[in-house]
Amino acid sequence: MHSYNSLSDSELAFLLTRNDEKAFTEIYNRFYGLLFIHASKRLNDDEEAKDVVHQLFETLWSKRLQVAPNGNLSAYLYTAIRNRILDVFAHQKVENKYVDSLQNFLDQDHVLTDHLVREKQMAFLIEQEINALPAKMREIFLLSRRENKSHKEIAQELGLSELTIKTQVKNALRILKTRLGVFIYLAFL
């Protein structure tokens, strides 16, 4: 019968390769605290350090047949914990990039959505104010701005002078500018 706490690391490693659970328990008891302190200092997170050390020992047990029975057990464990810590950092870096990328997408989507909503509101307000113009002025304005007809073409179509058409368009723009100026200002606050 072995007194496991008096065995060397290499003797414990050898017994581990022979499926000796008590040897594994001794390795765990001997190295857990040191590995935890090492991981905790590097990760600055005790819970994450516990997880990393527990995962290391789970892997050690599941791959016990691959442990070099005469190798340096402490060097093996410190190398393994270092690699796991590096994996955590790499995973965090990828995770942070993903979160940042997702946040940028959401921010851009929010800005685009906000812009589209404001654009629709503005189009509605403009349409509302155009419809509020006096009937003849509205007709002249729409022929000028929506159908892109010249003042001369509108004058001929409606049987009015070009000066009347020019004055009506000018007045319509002045009215719309006055009415929409406040709305435009409020919409883009």
Angle, helix 135-145 to helix 162-187, in steps of 10 degrees: 90
Q: How far apart are CA 59 and CA 74, in angstroms?
A: 15
Q: How far apart are CA 69 and CA 16, in angstroms?
A: 8
What average pLDDT does range 107-135 have in this prediction? 76
- Whether the per-residue pLDDT at 31 is higher than 50: the answer is yes
Write the CB contacts of 187 (distance below 8 Å, at least 6 apart in sequence).
Answer: 118, 121, 122, 125
**Burial class of residue 154 in the structure, from the number of CB atoms within 10 Å of its CB (0-12 exposed, 13-18 middle, 19+ buried):** buried
What average pLDDT does range 118-138 have in this prediction? 83
pLDDT of 189 reads 38
- Whether the per-residue pLDDT at 9 is higher than 50: the answer is yes
Q: Where in the chain is the domain with CATH 1.10.1740.10?
A: 4-98
Residue range 4-98 in CATH 3.30.450.40:
no
Q: Where in the chain is the domain with CATH 1.10.10?
A: 132-187
Q: Which of 29, 39, 48, 30 is nearest to 78 (CA)?
A: 39
pLDDT of 1 reads 52
Per-residue model confidence as pLDDT tens digits over 67-80: 776 778 888 898 88
> Is the dihedral angle over the CA atoms 149, 155, 157, 160 positive or is it negative?
positive
What amino acid occupies position 163?
L
pLDDT band at 174 (very low <50, low <70, confident <90, very high): confident
Identify the architecture of domain 132-187 in CATH: Orthogonal Bundle (1.10)
